[in-house]
Amino acid sequence: MALKLITNFQFMQHSSSHCFNSISFALRPPNLKFSSSHFIPRAEMESTSSPQIPPPLPEKRVVVGCGAASVDFLATVASYPNPDDKIRSLSLKVEGGGNTGNALTGASRLGLTARIISKVANDTQGRGILKEFEAGVDTSHMVVSEGISPFTYIIVDNQMKTRTCIHTPGNPPMLPEELSQSSLFSALENANLVYFDGRLHDTALVVAEEASQRKIPILIDCERKREGLDELLNLATYVVCSEKFPRAWTSAPTLASALVSMLIRLPNLKFVITTMGDKGSLMLERSQNDASEIEETDVETLLESLQERVDSTATIPTCISSKSDLRISADGIGAISGRLLAGTAEKIPPPELIDTTGAGDAFIAAVLYALCADMPPEKMLPFASQVAAAGCRALGARSGLPWRKDPRLAPFWL
């Protein structure tokens, strides 16, 4: 019975007889068979022939992430249970999770040098989290203490293709004083980009302020309004957010007008991207040139014109851009100089769509790489959509994350 079965993991947290490797946790109840993973080991992926050799790694490729690193307990079910139901799981998987942990794992597989600032407990799950990161994420700046590591129960509904997350934060929470100044300075040394998922807000603000003083660009993932997020946003260079966040944060009437409002309210922001699942993504980029003397273009009208140009028959991700250096306005809000871009999502055949857990983290991993590689937005949005789509073809946030030499990424190396 899926719900009861997953809960049993609570009583296994402190058992020293269980551990997990870099692919998944080996925690498993008696008589439970795990489904085979869709993960492709590094050695196997590197031996896969590709029609296009990836370009040299970016010279500026050090990315630091501050935020959540946890454990995901994933159970797939035929359909989401009704209240008081007792149902059986179809498969069960345990692997690393957390927005920052997932995004940095994805960025590392694409070729970036990733460092994480976070906290886990010295328990079985915490040791497993650290062990999984050994495949490519530097954990020397993480804090380890006595307590309980964060974890999330995830119910993956095969019928509706949704996932429901029930998160339990780690205890005790991370405090800024637990990150020594020497560790902070070491983490940011030669860093080219710093990423925050909005969690660990007090510690995150300390890291962000130091990064800002060093003039290191900052990318913030905004899933929803959180404590301390506004202070972080004031330091942001780039924002990637959920579809609901812009309107919730700005109170603007539409998504497009909310993006304009965000760039007006955050003058240091170079662009904001909102991800919309199978509807693709929308990006508003600030222009380096002042277009205040140009006739204003209504953002809603501009968005409609982009949507009309989208090829609805295309199955691979694409991007449609407006002209550059427009004066884009939103009624009753104001105007900014820039351009609007609409990205489409890959149309994943239903049998291949396994799990959307971590799709946004995969998208951000690709954006981190694209920024380090100076990839233009017209290429960045389809690239990020392709990486996110790859992740949706496996159970869990990390199993499907593509490696740099994955043939599916070959078109973006041209």
Q: Which two tokens stand for residue 101?
A: 């942990």
Predicted confidence at residue 293, as pLDDT, reads: 80
Whole-angstrom distance, CA of residue 63 vs CA of residue 121: 24
Q: Which two tokens stand for residue 329?
A: 């306005």
Whole-angstrom distance, CA of residue 302 vs CA of residue 307: 9
Residue ranges of the alpha helices (H) in 88-225? Answer: 99-110, 124-133, 181-188, 201-213
3-class state of residue 31 by DSSP: coil
- The pTM (predicted TM-score) of the whole model is 0.87
Question: Residues near 277 by Cβ (< 8 Å), separated by ≥ 6?
Answer: 243, 345, 356, 359
Predicted confidence at residue 51, as pLDDT, reads: 55
Whole-angstrom distance, CA of residue 148 vs CA of residue 391: 28
Predicted confidence at residue 99, as pLDDT, reads: 97
Cβ-defined contacts of 182-186 (< 8 Å, 24+) = 183/140, 183/141, 184/117, 184/141, 184/210, 185/210, 186/140, 186/141
What string of pLDDT tens digits covers the 414 residues of the chain? 334 443 434 434 433 334 444 333 333 343 333 333 333 333 333 334 445 688 899 999 999 999 999 999 999 999 999 999 999 999 999 999 999 999 999 999 999 999 999 999 999 999 999 999 998 999 999 999 999 999 999 999 999 989 999 999 999 999 999 999 999 999 999 999 999 999 999 999 999 999 999 999 999 999 999 999 999 999 999 999 999 999 999 999 999 999 999 999 999 999 999 999 999 999 999 998 887 788 999 999 999 999 999 998 889 999 999 999 999 999 999 999 999 999 999 999 999 999 999 999 999 999 999 999 999 999 999 999 999 999 999 999 999 999 999 999 999 987
Predicted confidence at residue 40, as pLDDT, reads: 35
Whole-angstrom distance, CA of residue 395 vs CA of residue 36: 10
Element (H, E) at 353: none
Predicted confidence at residue 1, as pLDDT, reads: 36
Predicted confidence at residue 312, as pLDDT, reads: 86
